[in-house]
């Protein structure tokens, strides 16, 4: 397993897309932080950028990479290796590579510029988003046989969680506005990793109310500590559950 992770990393760290991704993140981070002197505002902008970019890049890049390495996967599976080991090693390699890119692009500049507890939660939520969306990419890879369909599914998944979900949430709130929907809403938010990542950071900042309904709710119903623990647990589930399903499906897949 370690061997495969190591060589996938070797390959990916030389990959141009990964390098460009890290550079773009770094450029954005530095330019955003140069615009205002308020650390909290800068972090908010970075949060929005993370929430927008990380999911879509992670899921798209991982899906394409998995589909492109089908033949190599086949060759490795002809070696005495368990399917599960092979699949999870490939996932680990790609997740680590994307995480390194994120840390290099956002983590290093942000830690140099303004280092607070909130900065750390921003990095944690960015990393979680990377792990979650590459796990979803893995799930897409095992569910679809065709590369084009797989990439389509990846784009739809990313758009669903970054854009569509909030719209649905709003229409839900609107249509049930006569009822106490606050608590069911908390449950619904757990269904979207992007919202979870947002909440995790917002709980550390004092601007929760400014960032829409979900942030305010979390702040109100749970204190910062319980809220943070709850979101972290939810995000862990979002990482692990797709991986478990993917490994199960892959066991029976024809390659």
- 101 contacts: CB under 8 Å, gap ≥ 6: 18, 19, 21, 22, 25
Q: To the nearest whole angstrom, how small is the minimum distance from the Cβ of residue 14 to another protein?
A: 4
Q: Does 117 bind another protein (CB under 8 A)?
A: no
Among 37, 71, 117, 177, indicate the residue that binds another protein (CB under 8 A). 71
Q: Does 83 bind another protein (CB under 8 A)?
A: yes
Q: Does 27 bind another protein (CB under 8 A)?
A: no
Could you give the maximum distance between any two Cα atoms of the chain, in Å? 61
CA 34 to chain centre: 26
Q: Does 19 bind another protein (CB under 8 A)?
A: no
Q: Does 148 bind another protein (CB under 8 A)?
A: no
Q: Does 100 bind another protein (CB under 8 A)?
A: no
Among 177, 178, 187, 254, indicate the residue that binds another protein (CB under 8 A). 254
Q: Does 17 bind another protein (CB under 8 A)?
A: no
Judged by CB under 8 A, the number of residues near another protein is 28
Q: How far apart, in Å, do the first and last CA atoms of the chain sit? A: 20
Total Cβ atoms within 10 A of residue 132: 29
Cβ distance 138 to 91 under 8 Å? yes
CA atoms within 13 A on the CB side of 57: 24
Q: To the nearest whole angstrom, how small is the minimum distance from the Cβ of residue 1 to another protein?
A: 10
User: Using CB under 8 A, which of the segments 5-13, 31-39, 95-103, 110-118 binds another protein?
Assistant: 5-13
Among 23, 75, 108, 191, indicate the residue that binds another protein (CB under 8 A). 75
Helix (H) or strand (E) holding 207, with range, is: none
Q: What SS3 class is residue 90?
A: helix
Q: Does 255 bind another protein (CB under 8 A)?
A: yes
Scanning residues 29 to 68, which ones bind another protein (CB under 8 A)?
68
Q: Does 115 bind another protein (CB under 8 A)?
A: no
Q: Copy the structure tokens of residue 179.
A: 């009822």
Three-state SS for 94-154 is HHHHHHHHHHHHHHHHHHHHCCCHHHHHHHHHHHHHHHHHHHHHHHHHHHCCCHHHHHHHH
Q: Does 20 bind another protein (CB under 8 A)?
A: no
Q: Does 244 bind another protein (CB under 8 A)?
A: no
Among 8, 60, 201, 246, indicate the residue that binds another protein (CB under 8 A). 8
Residue whose token pair is 């897409």: 140
Q: Nearest to residue 191, comparing CAs of 241, 141, 144?
A: 241
Among 76, 129, 234, 247, indicate the residue that binds another protein (CB under 8 A). 76
Give the residues lining the site for another protein (CB under 8 A). Answer: 3-4, 7-8, 10-12, 14-15, 68-72, 74-83, 252-255
């Amino acid at each position: 397993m370690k061997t495969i992770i190591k060589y996938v990393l070797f390959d990916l760290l030389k990959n141009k897309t990964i390098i460009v991704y890290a550079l773009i993140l770094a450029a954005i981070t530095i330019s955003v932080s140069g615009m205002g002197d308020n650390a909290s505002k800068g972090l908010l902008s970075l949060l929005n950028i993370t929430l927008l970019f990380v999911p879509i890049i992670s899921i798209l890049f991982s899906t394409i990479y998995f589909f492109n390495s089908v033949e190599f996967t086949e060759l490795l599976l002809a070696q005495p290796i368990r399917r599960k080991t092979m699949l999870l090693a490939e996932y680990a390699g790609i997740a680590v590579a994307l995480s390194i890119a994120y840390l290099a692009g956002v983590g290093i500049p942000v830690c140099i510029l303004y280092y607070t507890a909130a900065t750390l939660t921003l990095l944690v939520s960015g990393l979680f988003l990377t792990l979650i969306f590459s796990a979803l990419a893995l799930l897409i890879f095992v569910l679809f046989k065709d590369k084009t369909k797989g990439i389509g599914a990846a784009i739809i998944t990313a758009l669903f969680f970054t854009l569509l979900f909030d719209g649905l949430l709003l229409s839900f709130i609107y249509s049930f506005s006569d009822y106490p929907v606050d608590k069911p809403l908390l449950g619904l938010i757990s269904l979207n990793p992007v919202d979870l990542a947002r909440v995790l950071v917002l709980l550390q900042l004092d601007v929760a109310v400014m960032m829409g309904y979900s942030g305010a709710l979390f702040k109100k119903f749970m204190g910062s500590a319980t809220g943070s623990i709850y979101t972290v647990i939810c995000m862990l589930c979002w990482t692990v559950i797709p991986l478990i399903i993917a490994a199960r499906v892959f066991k029976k897949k024809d390659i």
